[in-house]
Structure 1
Amino acid sequence: MNQLTFLGTGDAMGVPRVYCDCDICTEARLTGINRRKRSAVLIHGDGEDEPFMIDCGPDWRSQMEVQGMRMVQTLLITHAHFDHIGGLPEWADACRWLGVKGKLYAPREVIATIQSQFPWLVRHMDFLETDADIELGGWKVRSWKVCHGHNGYSYAYRLEREGYTWAYCSDAIDLKASEKQPLYGLDLLVLGTSFVHELAEFSTRSVYDMVEAQELLQDLKPDQTYFTHMSHDVDMRQNYDLDQGITLAVTGLKVKLGE
């Protein structure tokens, strides 16, 4: 059985934010319902297919410890912002100590940025491009560039296997028709929503809020949707009366991918 495990569901700063004493950050420190590591997921099964992670942020080591895992040899990266690649040095060190060659998949321009930031990583991993369709862990994977608003661009991934199709789109906003096209016909969508309703001026923003996301979903119509990449604006104790089929993802949540 193939499944998806949420290793983290937080935005770039995580929750609690170190400088913040808001009610949600305070609760996260005290009881942890709202404690969120940076967004990443693990795709794995009980067969021979190799597991892989999407993104490798600065919480990678602690995410692995929570899962009782010592290594994941394959990564799929959405873009080269720190909250998505900050764990690569620790991952590379694990590759070195275990004597394995990691496999890092990403679009060509993302690979170029990673290599410019961490030029020594090439000693411990192979960089493999996703600009053309690839197969990974038994999944046919398609990548495409999506608008990341004020923060430039990210990439989303559409994965298909044995009649089941899902997509991961953690960092996007204001998608145009061509960017939305691969998000139709999905059994499951993982979508980033940093705020419930963000009031900042639109040109300064970089990720959908939940109000906008629900409007998007009325068009896309996936069977299931999981919101991730959530900031300290989102309180897991609250009932936001979201549309049917939407779930706020929490760390450790496991979701079946197919029958």
Structure 2
Amino acid sequence: MDKLIFLGTGDAMGVPRVYCNCRVCTEARSNGINRRERSSVIIEGEWGSFLIDCGPDWRNQMERIHSRNTEQILITHAHFDHIAGLPEWADACRWTDKKGKLYAPNEVIEAILSQFPWLNKQLEMITIDDGIVIGGWEITGWKVNHGKNGYSYAYRLEKEGYHWVYCSDAINLNHEEKQRLFGLDLLVLGTSFYHETAEFHTRSVYDMTEADILLQEITPKQTIYTHMSHDIDLNQDYSLPIDVSLAVADMEISLF
């Protein structure tokens, strides 16, 4: 049976914030449950594995799961917290004499290469605008609103009648963007705050109160919130619905 493992569950800055002495950051600083690296997951099965996103904590995450190799990574968008680990991955491929496979829409690959133009020496850049199959998972991506930060891609993965979506960076999705969120067994959704009070035009990711409204519309069977800032305290009871939970590093979920 395939499984989903959460490697990182934090937002762009991670937790603790280096400048912050709030309750959550203080607890995280002592290696508490709120310690969060940048968001990434790995999907594993008898066929092998692949990651979604490769942020600046990629090396630490690989060490933590005792993995010495990453052969395939699917990228959601070319922001620092999702691609900053790519040079280290490419270097690992160089030293192990392997060619990693990086999957992303063409415009995301172009943005990555504009920042790291040498990566294609060690990584095979594979465009997936028309979808891709990895480990038997049929994967389709679509552009979603990322608020002030432009856009990201969400991915729907389907295999043996099981349907799930990874959507880490999105807000205020329109009717068209929501269509592939219906009929899900699992939704992994980014929610950086419980209730974010910043002016809406400055924001880029759902908060939990907004996510609750979205879930009432699309009704997934199970939802896991990730991409959480230091506003979220895993020691606190947020009275979430029974089918909604908060991601924790190393959490494993069986898929189908």
TM superposition shift of 1:213: 0.3
Q: Deviations over 1:57-112 (max 9, x none)?
A: 00000000000100110000000000000000000010000000000000010000
Aligned partner of 2:16 in structure 1 is 16
Cα deviation, residue 50, structure 1: 2.5
Structure 2 counterpart of 1:84, from 44, 66, 82? 82
Separation in 1, partners of 2:252, 2:137: 18
Q: Match for residue 26 of structure 1?
A: 26
After superposition, the C-alpha distances for 1:117-142 in whole angstroms (9 at most, x for unaligned) are 00000100110011102101210000
Deviation (angstroms), 1:244: 2.2
The CA deviation string for residues 181-228 of structure 1, in whole angstroms up to 9 with x for no partner, is 001000000000000000000000000000000100000100000000
CA positional deviation for 1:31: 4.1
Give the paired residue count: 256
2:231 aligned partner, one-letter code: D
Give per-residue Cα distances to partners, 1:18-53, cap 9 Å, x unaligned. 1111111011112411000000000001x2x23000
Counterparts of 1:23-172 in structure 2, within 5 Å, are 23-45=23-45, 47=46, 49-172=47-170
CA distance in 1, matches of 2:242, 2:173: 22
Aligned ranges for residues 175-194 of structure 1 at < 5 Å? 175-194=173-192
1:216 aligns with 2:214: yes
Name the structure 2 match of 1:247. Answer: 245
Structure 1 SS opposite 2:124: strand
Letter in 2 for 1:27: E
The 3-state SS of whatever aligns with 1:214 is helix
Q: Aligned-residue CA RMSD in angstroms? A: 0.6
| 5+ long unaligned stretches in structure 1 | none
3-state SS of paired residue (1:103): strand
Equivalent positions of 1:231-242 (< 5 A) are 231-242=229-240
Length-normalised TM-score, structure 1: 0.98
- Which runs of 5 or more structure 2 residues have no equivalent in the other structure? none
4+ aligned runs moved over 2 Å, structure 1? none
One-letter amino acid matched to 1:91: W
